[in-house]
Structure 1
Amino acid sequence: MMQDARFDLIIRNGLVFDGMGNPGQRRHVGIRDGRVAALSELPLTEAGAEVIDAQGQWVMPGMLDMHTHYDAELVAAPALRESVKHGVTTVAVGSCSISMMLSEPEDCSDLFTRVESVPRDQVLPLLEKHKTWDSPHGYVDFLRQHPLGPNVCAFLGHSDLRVRTLGLSRSVRRGLKPTREELATMTQHLESALDAGMMGLSGMTNPWDKLDGDRERSASLPAAYAPWSEIRHLNRTLRRRGRVLQSAPNLVTKLNAILFGIASAGWFIRRPLKTTLITMMAVKGQEALPKLVGFLSNVFNRLFRADFRWESLPTQFEVFSDGIDLVIFEEFGAGEAVLHLVDELERNELMRDPDYRRRFRKDYEKRFGARVWHRDLGDATIVDAPDRNLVGKSFVDVARERGVHEVDAFLDLVVEHGQKLRWHTVIGNYKPQQIREIVNQPSTLLAFNDSGAHIRNMAFYNSQLRFLKFVRDEAEAGRPVMPLEKAIWKLTGELADWFDIDAGRLHVGARADVAVINPEGLGEQLAQFDEAKIENLDLKRLVNRSDHAVTATIINGRVAFRQGQFVPELGRDTVFGTFLPAGARGVAGPSARTEASTAYEANVAASA
């Protein structure tokens, strides 16, 4: 017997996972008015409904990508197709202290473009043309009127906050402490952002991330100059409001990760501060570190009532580079010196200089101290070059052929071919056992795709699908990683619950954000890379392949992607994604404004 009701969309015959960790059940899903209206063992009346037959497929909540740098791209190309095609229905922006909420377009561009490896000549004109807001509520109004593809949630960036309050030059002045009045202004901005529905504050204490532009070029991001007293002051607001601090430790010393842990702790006398840092990864040469860090984090959370998490990537971390344009070279002085130069002729002159080469070699051969890159040019393979004889060789292979040191071989090739020299290496997570250990740590969140950033260097837009493939393949091989329902929970409900947004679940009454996954399509092509143009921008980027892994992506009850095709309305109509406020699970709209925030908004309006 069919259930007698009318639906806009029916997904029939699928194995349905609820995103809460329960085993999948054979169900028919009925969707009406953007919500899940029925989960039935019996067939549903199909009259007038669009129908997706999910026989043999997984029906699950749309996946969440909680660490992206889509901030600029969503202005120009709000469909965010590269995520939607992989079953992602919610993305988070404003990570790593870089939001585009408060500051002027040029400031936002200088904060964003060098760090995230997106060309400034594309981002700055875009923001100058389209950025009409200068407050959190203005940003939310923009998002709600914008034809978003996936849903968007956001952080306020600490660098954005500092620049708006102190000005760009003062925000990167070493040793400068904000005045009491300036701290009060920062707090007002933060309160307003939380009232507007931001998930919290994103910070950055790692000094390797640098400013672009010509005003304060190569200064670290402003958040890296913030004294701990300033961070502690802002944390009080986050703790009181139950929101999140996202940040990165200082990778030079790593010691301030301890301070973040202490800040998160409730000590049984106060509310824990939700804190998440990037990133837990098995970097080559430091393979045992994730296991130790994970163990200590879990013990600390239990003993001191903390809520401290590490963001992690559930797949191999591999990168590509065009010449020397890769953020890993910001780790040491010689690399930073060449990336400081914009002009290619000036760069080449520096890289030819014998003294510079000695400095580069000294940095390269330094075996102790902070690093992410393994600094092994023998573990870096050339994948493209004008000289086709180079393809497939490492820089050590080339050095042996030429009878020179590997650093000289690398710098010679960069001078010879510039950005036409393309090479590849694996930074971390290169063994399945390492990934297994990381994803099973209670203190990890699967939330480090970095989507929209480093557009020529890496692509993890489909890391969620790769993780599902890994879980399925290991189970079939008799080496189970975790139950499939737990893996789906980690990609959906766990993230939605921890960040406190209305997403990640599939039950009657839930938002109808759904992914239909074909397990037979989870093949080796998921690890392949391709290049594609970014919609509405004169840019190409590295992308992932998915082919037939995702049968359909449904956002707000509407099919956005199906059988390899995007619907024409995606990115044009405001019927798909929307801004999802934090702290409002199941509630449409931001929480009530505080008195201070209301006054702040009035001041912004008056000054405008």
Structure 2
Amino acid sequence: MADLVIRNGLIVDGTGSPGVVGDISITDGVLTQVGGTVADTGAEEIDATGRIVTPGFVDVHSHYDGQVFFDNALTPSNGHGVTTVVLGLCGVGFAPARPTDHEMLITTMESVEDIPGDVLRVGLPWTWESFPEFLNAVEANGYAMNVAAQIGHIPVRSYVMGERAIANEPAPPEDIAAMSAIVREAVDAGAVGFSTSRVLAHRTAAGDPVPGTFAAEDELFGIAGAMADTGRRVVFQLAQAGIDGFEPESSVAEVEWMQRLSAETGLPVSFLILQTDGAPDLWRQLMNSCVEAEAMGAHLRPQVANRPFGMLLGLPVRHPFMKRKTFRRVYDETSSFEELRVRLADPEIRSAILSEEDTEFSGDSYEGMGLIATYKPDMVYPLGDDLDYEPLESDSLAARAAASGVAPLELFYDLMLERDGGTMFLVPMFNYANTNQDDILEMLNHPAALIGLGDGGAHLSTICDASMPTYQLSHWVKGRERGPRLQLEAAIKMQTHDTAEFYGFADRGTLEVGKRADLNVIDLERLALTMPRAVNDLPGGATRLLQDAVGYDATIVNGVITRRNDTDTGARPGHLIRGSR
């Protein structure tokens, strides 16, 4: 008897081949039959008639480095079909670390990734110093999905160089050797890669560029060489200079040294691609250079996002009135969100707030984000019930305000209080230079593309892009109205086979006999995202944005059903993945 049999579903196996209706059987966490009719009965069976059955989604860009210790469901990714997730991106992380390093690593994670420091202070057990010990701590828990980890440049450099790392001093040969030894030890223990950040916008709490921002080639190539010497497949990942829109052309020089690093060491290299308004066509040049690099023996895969990239504004998070005196007073006087919403609806309070200047400090280091509605209302789009992430220019706050004959901030204020104060406003800062998603489609279809940038676990009050795996199907396969869509089989392959293959996870990513039983059973007709919502469920009651999905009949991890009918079952069969498979 099989442990689980899924019957009569449209099997989209992740290879890109056309879907075929058939059955799947699972025993001991492994696929034992894929396709045809399973003659055996299952201890449990799922009728997948009218459903698609896919490999579990492999998300290669998250920041669950801290959350693994206080949320073993790994929300929100668990609600979007993700069965394997990679953490430790963009140079940040928590190992190696001496006790004297803890606060710096926490505040840097807070500054770079918008994860509240108080959440991390409560949630991190700090039972480790070395990276192998960190992996052991992760491995001690079960999760709603499988977890793999990279080692970050920031903790490594800080551990070796101390204050000199924070000052971004050049690393002498002995420090490069010490860093290389730490990274080699991490890879031998099961790290699936090394990450670094060279983004000028990534700053410490003191406002300095994060350690490693200006690391010279001898440091980067030295670490990469140590990784290559292990003989294991590991990824060199970075957030490169220029990705944030500051001097975007600097990304061209970054890609040049990445090509040489990959060709010399044999390591696959992944970096980030976003379209900026200042250089709206540069992404195409960078992606094409990755294809050209294959001829010199390099393997570069830029991570791309499948929807506009930016932030969300709203009353529960950040908005343009946070720095106004009357708002601060009312906020301090109220004891609940509902009371705040009711008070703000008072005409006298509304009038006072709208008439004031931005003079107060809210205590939120990201408070300035809300001011974009003041200075760039044409970049702000109220989200309606249709959750349109491809809005028209006429849908912008500026256009709607002009059509209504009111000031943009007046309209923002009134819309902000609708839906019981839950209205969200999309601010597409990247990937929307032409006010449509045509360029995103071209990125996704590019032969060098690697889908990523979901940022699960990070930017908790700013975005909720961990829902991108669902968007891949709800928008690109069935929902898009303003241009071409993706074929179902291609869309699935991008976030299963392609992401798994890049990290060397050969035991997952496609539905084949002998592979891990990580799957989704999806009602594609019903699949949809819900409105992002703010919850206060983090340690200490801190706020984060979550975006749910409907349409997942089942998500299965290592043969165990972790979600059924869009609801967490409480099962935690996921485990640490040590190295490529």
Coarse TM-score class (shorter-chain normalised) = 0.7 to 0.9
Report whether the alignment pairs 1:71 with 2:68: no
What is the total number of aligned residue pairs between the two structures? 510
Report whether the alignment pairs 1:179 with 2:179: no
TM-superposed deviation, 1:262: 3.2
Q: What is the match of residue 303 of structure 2?
A: 311
Quick one: structure 1 residues 146 and 480, their matched pair in 2 at CA, closer, same or farther if it must change by over 3 Å?
same
Distance, in Å, in 2 between the alignment partners of 1:262 and 1:270 is 13
Aligned-pair Cα RMSD in Å: 3.8
Distance, in Å, in 2 between the alignment partners of 1:121 and 1:550 is 34
TM-superposed deviation, 1:17: 2.2
Maintained 8 Å contact 2:112/2:203: yes
Distance, in Å, in 1 between the alignment partners of 2:565 and 2:400 is 44
Q: What is the match of residue 28 of structure 2?
A: 33
Distance, in Å, in 2 between the alignment partners of 1:441 and 1:393 is 30
Residues 259-292 of structure 1 show CA distances to partners (whole Å, capped at 9, x for unaligned) of: 44334436997454311112x2333454333333
Structure 2: gaps spanning 5 or more residues: 324-331, 333-355, 361-367, 385-394, 413-420
Quick one: structure 1 residues 561 and 259, their matched pair in 2 at CA, closer, same or farther if it must change by over 3 Å?
same
Structure 1: gaps spanning 5 or more residues: 1-5, 328-334, 336-343, 354-360, 366-372, 385-391, 411-418, 571-575, 586-608
Quick one: structure 1 residues 428 and 270, their matched pair in 2 at CA, closer, same or farther if it must change by over 3 Å?
closer
The one-letter amino acid of 1:227's match is A
Quick one: structure 1 residues 307 and 24, their matched pair in 2 at CA, closer, same or farther if it must change by over 3 Å?
same
Distance, in Å, in 1 between the alignment partners of 2:545 and 2:139 is 29
Q: What is the match of residue 181 of structure 2?
A: 188
TM-superposed deviation, 1:70: 1.2
Distance, in Å, in 2 between the alignment partners of 1:474 and 1:423 is 20
Report whether the alignment pairs 1:204 with 2:207: no
- TM-score, normalising length from structure 1? 0.75
The one-letter amino acid of 1:234's match is I
Secondary structure of the residue that 2:475 maps to in structure 1? helix
Distance, in Å, in 1 between the alignment partners of 2:90 and 2:10 is 37
Secondary structure of the residue that 1:295 maps to in structure 2? helix
Q: What is the match of residue 563 of structure 1?
A: 565
Distance, in Å, in 1 between the alignment partners of 2:517 and 2:149 is 21
Q: What is the match of residue 446 of structure 1?
A: 451
TM-superposed deviation, 1:533: 4.0
- Paired residue for 2:275, among 266, 276, 282? 282
TM-superposed deviation, 1:381: 5.4
TM-superposed deviation, 1:465: 1.7
- Paired residue for 1:247, among 235, 238, 243? 238
Distance, in Å, in 1 between the alignment partners of 2:77 and 2:261 is 39
> What does 1:342-491 correspond to in 2, within 5 Å?
352=359, 376-380=376-380, 394=397, 424-430=426-432, 431-473=436-478, 481-491=485-495
Which range moved further: 498-507 or 315-324? 315-324
Secondary structure of the residue that 1:224 maps to in structure 2? coil
Q: What is the match of residue 132 of structure 2?
A: 137
Maintained 8 Å contact 1:281/1:438: no
Distance, in Å, in 1 between the alignment partners of 2:402 and 2:525 is 44
Q: What is the match of residue 497 of structure 1?
A: 501
TM-superposed deviation, 1:428: 3.1
Maintained 8 Å contact 1:264/1:307: no
Q: What is the match of residue 150 of structure 1?
A: 145
Secondary structure of the residue that 2:463 maps to in structure 1? coil
Distance, in Å, in 2 between the alignment partners of 1:399 and 1:40 is 57
Distance, in Å, in 2 between the alignment partners of 1:53 and 1:521 is 16
Quick one: structure 1 residues 324 and 351, their matched pair in 2 at CA, closer, same or farther if it must change by over 3 Å?
farther
Q: What is the match of residue 542 of structure 2?
A: 539
Which range moved further: 155-164 or 96-105? 96-105
Distance, in Å, in 2 between the alignment partners of 1:480 and 1:350 is 45
Distance, in Å, in 1 between the alignment partners of 2:263 and 2:428 is 44
Quick one: structure 1 residues 402 and 227, their matched pair in 2 at CA, closer, same or farther if it must change by over 3 Å?
farther
The one-letter amino acid of 1:274's match is P
Distance, in Å, in 1 between the alignment partners of 2:543 and 2:295 is 48
Report whether the alignment pairs 1:88 with 2:82: yes
Secondary structure of the residue that 2:225 maps to in structure 1? helix
- TM-score, normalising length from structure 2? 0.78
Quick one: structure 1 residues 478 and 209, their matched pair in 2 at CA, closer, same or farther if it must change by over 3 Å?
closer
Maintained 8 Å contact 2:23/2:34: yes
TM-superposed deviation, 1:226: 2.2
The one-letter amino acid of 1:94's match is G
Secondary structure of the residue that 2:544 maps to in structure 1? strand
Residues 98-144 of structure 1 show CA distances to partners (whole Å, capped at 9, x for unaligned) of: 122212432321221121112111212322xx110112221221122
Secondary structure of the residue that 2:61 maps to in structure 1? coil
Secondary structure of the residue that 1:265 maps to in structure 2? helix
Maintained 8 Å contact 2:530/2:547: yes
Quick one: structure 1 residues 220 and 325, their matched pair in 2 at CA, closer, same or farther if it must change by over 3 Å?
farther
Secondary structure of the residue that 2:520 maps to in structure 1? strand
Q: What is the match of residue 158 of structure 2?
A: 163
Secondary structure of the residue that 1:142 maps to in structure 2? helix
The one-letter amino acid of 2:56's match is G
The one-letter amino acid of 2:558's match is N
